[in-house]
Amino acid sequence: MTMTDLKQTIRQKAEHYFDYMVQVRRHLHKNPEVSFKEYDTTEYILHELKKMGIDTETPLETGCIGVIDGGKPGTAIALRADIDALAMDEEGEAKKKFMSERPGAAHCCGHDAHTANLLGTAKILKELEPEIPGKVVLVFQPAEEKLPGGGRMVRESGVLQKHGVEEIYGLHMNPAYAPGQIAVKPGPFMACTVEFEIEVIGKGGHAATPHLTVDPIVLSSQIITQFQSIISRSLDPTEPAIITVGKIEAGSAFNVISAKAEMIGTVRAFSMETARFIKSRMEAILKSVTEGAGGSYKFEFNEGYPAVVNNEQCNQKLEQAAIRVLGEENVINLKKPLMAGEDFSFYQEEFPGAFFFLGSGSDEADSKWSWHHPRYNIDERAFLTGSALMAGLVLDR
């Protein structure tokens, strides 16, 4: 089969399996499961893969892999989708027919769509199995949303190494781009992530006698302000980094000075070395502010996901396949990386790979809401692009 014929066949099969992918996505959307508890989701995926005649394995308690071997010499390529939902409730009229039926869990980040897209890709590749040069490992990964990260656990299980994986590719739905488009970038793509927890310990008392107390709310306000100076005055201005305090909690009444204040937040950077430098500056600020006022502190700095850094050669293969399958006008080259994090980075620490964004935003589907918003949704026409490109990555060799 010529490349022209193959490109046309892939697109036709993506259209043929479009309704299937929509059905899968809506089933998963109605039945979300949070990180490390994706038992029903895993059983559903295994059932679908086995119906296709694809060999399966379960290296972890949840999640699974499928293997398609073309029987010809070639590259062993892994394609990854994450399967977990967020611990939140959702909203949105556009999703009314398939809204989550499980309180406190919702697919408001697109993982249901990633899974449906990869199952559609599996159908395309299984039908074109004789054309596959090498082997395809389909990775349905649990727990992208929660440390230590399912990507790390899958990598450490040894299952990808056992199948000789040489390259890995993954995607994420992105409401900033329209269905039919993808966004790519070589090198730094998404940031490393850190979660921190701080307890500022003061001395409580009556609001009318502040001189007899150590006010942790006042100390916390000074700490948060000084944290921001780390980025503007302690880091190289060309080094992207963020410190965000996402929550602060203290106090119980209008006339009481609390004994403590608690805050949690995140640090984002493009190297763990930078993140650790930020940690040292944060600790210095905590020490000086609290001890200077007669208080104290507790500080936890939990290193999360490394930065997503796309391999130059893999990104080039991705871009070339996208141009052939989707057309050059639909391939967007990002100028800057994002400060969001992704545990796809754990795979990239061992295997060359590339991660890309799949356009899913439209007014018609009310799907321009950001990730993790309760009204987050996708335009399901993204499957026509995502499944065709994933299959093209394998077959375009």
CB 360 within 8 A of CB 171: no
CB neighbours of residue 28 within 10 Å: 26
As a whole number of angstroms, the distance between CA 307 and CA 123 comes to 32
User: At which residue do the structure tokens 């100028």 appear?
Assistant: 335
Catalytic residue among 38, 48, 84, 396: 84
Q: Mind listing the pLDDT tens digit for each residue in 190-233? A: 999 999 999 999 999 999 999 999 999 999 999 999 999 999 99
Q: Are strands 260-269 and 331-333 parallel, antiparallel or unpaired?
A: unpaired
Q: Which residues contact 216 (CB under 8 A, 6 or more apart)?
A: 200, 201, 202, 250, 258, 259, 260, 261, 295
Is residue 4 scored above 80 in pLDDT?
A: no
Q: Mind listing the pLDDT tens digit for each residue in 355-384? A: 999 999 999 999 999 999 999 999 999 999
Is residue 96 scored above 80 in pLDDT?
A: yes
Which token pair is 228? 């921001």
Q: What is the separation of C-alpha 386 from the centre of its chain, rounded to a whole number of angstroms?
A: 16
List the one residue out of 282, 275, 195 whose CA is nearest residue 239: 275
Is residue 46 scored above 70 in pLDDT?
A: yes
Is residue 253 scored above 90 in pLDDT?
A: yes
For range 37-56, the mean pLDDT? 98
Domains and CATH numbers, the chain: 3-190+307-395 (3.40.630.10), 192-303 (3.30.70.360)
pLDDT above 90 coverage of the chain, percent: 96
Average model confidence (pLDDT) for the chain? 96
Angle at 335 between CA 397 and CA 323, to 5 degrees: 25
Helices 18-30 and 382-395, packing angle to 10 deg = 110
pLDDT band with cut points at 50, 70 and 90 for residue 1: low
CB 221 within 8 A of CB 300: no
Is residue 181 scored above 80 in pLDDT?
A: yes
Concatenating the DSSP letter of every residue in 133-170 gives SEEEEEEEE--SSSTT-HHHHHHHHTHHHHTT--EEEE
How confident is the model at residue 49, as a pLDDT? 98
Task: Give yes or no: 82 in active site.
Answer: no
Which token pair is 218? 């006042």
Which token pair is 85? 């939902």
User: At which residue do the structure tokens 């697919």 appear?
Assistant: 107
For range 52-59, the mean pLDDT? 98
For range 138-143, the mean pLDDT? 98
What global pTM score does this model have?
Answer: 0.92
For range 128-153, the mean pLDDT? 96
As a whole number of angstroms, the distance between CA 41 and CA 44 comes to 5
Q: Mind listing the pLDDT tens digit for each residue in 296-323? A: 999 999 999 999 999 999 999 999 999 9
How confident is the model at residue 6, as a pLDDT? 81
Catalytic residue among 33, 48, 144, 380: 144
- CA dihedral 108→58→62→110, nearest 10 degrees, is 0
Concatenating the DSSP letter of every residue in 323-357 gives HHHH-GGGEEE-SS-BS---TTHHHHTTS-EEEEE
> Up-side HSE of residue 304: CA atoms within 13 Å toward CB?
26
How confident is the model at residue 70, as a pLDDT? 87
User: At which residue do the structure tokens 């869990």 appear?
Assistant: 105
CB 44 within 8 A of CB 135: no
Q: What is the separation of C-alpha 69 from the centre of its chain, rounded to a whole number of angstroms?
A: 28
